[in-house]
Structure 1
């Protein structure tokens, strides 16, 4: 089997696991599913490896490459396909907003509606329902991060103000990974809760995952959210938004904040129905790691990659 054929087989499985019906052009049936991925679809600039349809309208492109290809250099080709949909094909916008490059082991994604669109690595493909939901909103999450309301200093120490402002600046500049380092007792959790509130309130984050390494920190974090009084509204956080502290392996679909341990999240991603609470009492950081390989995770359709906007 050629490397590109192997990549396409993996991509087929990834798309199907994410809720897409994968079809050949000669078997085209856009009514088969809400999301349909059509192989080798002819466009103005050539044949796209996959053309993605959501509710019978073209919405995105997947460019398949052999394993080992440097995907960051493929974005221009994907962009040509996104702008090359034939005039007789219904589409959500011109050019198409969503572009993927994938080798089956590595996948990049770009949303042209972002302020400065660029490809970023994702674990798998988004569900068609998610793309449809994004299309219903005029502003993307990254666009919202650039339109955040000024931070109120009410109830915040200087170090907390600096932490929240710098975090928001980093996110607005599309640097999604950030580390806040503060002294013990300086209010790290309160600063984190303040930041989460602002991401939900002003950037319209759908759900935030708050990870802890042991259960007593989870209980402490839950109390912080319950006691947090919003500076602009005056009501408590939990009066405005649902918050869930996981004690089972079931996510509340309406909660905007989910608090859980790394241990329980790993159990959920593996598809285990339940997890013993006693195993959450001890931090994994205090256990010997020598000789143990990194834990591996495969895609779980019950917890797709878009489940959380921030961690």
Structure 2
């Protein structure tokens, strides 16, 4: 359930669901899942997503009808009685006096798995917190202006403060171990003395030519795999990974696990792919470069190389 505090926000939310296209199959969200914007007191339990104002859900739980015009009244104004002693919109006792929500068998507490409440600094205010507390569901609050009451309601549980260590302790994420492979070139850079020939490669065509150095050429680690390519350094990393894979990294295994290698650019990725295939003695399906046009068997390759410019 996606809770909003005014009807026009519900319409905007529905449009967002209608316009969102899956990155996997290009279907719109509403083409794959039934999304219902609730404008009456009838709850469609076949819907996968229900969009509703919090005041309408309160009325549903109280088995009361809610005029459509009250969907457009901010909840923090509904609970204040008007001068004539009636609630906003002339609805009388429904909002004029806070009423406790009791169990409603027509809407069991397990109706929803997840409740997202927009502008939660208002939905946790006074009367409305009961609606959120009624359901046995995960609560997600959205707000740019949280109040002290909002912090208290959510036990100061802020998504931006939920780090990896907490996720591991909760069983949400799997912990990781670092197996670091260092080489002298990646730590300190290198120098090629004058008189030696080096290979120059054009980035766009990948054509190669040899050129003799008139002066010493030095480079630092930051230039590696961008301005300077050292194939032996890449090969040493791949060889170490291969040789230590089943003895130290994943002892006891006999197959290469799904491996993602991040490259610095497309040319670097090409170099890695070539060396991985050589060192593992495998064909093209074993190691593949991921591009925007990669489909099918790419997802089944044990080792995938991703150029940094295509990282999301």
**TM-score w.r.t. length of structure 2:** 0.31
Larger Rg: 2
- Normalized per residue, which structure has more helix? 2
Kindly indicate whether structure 1 or structure 2 has the higher relative contact order, using CA contacts under 8 Å at least 6 residues apart. Answer: 1
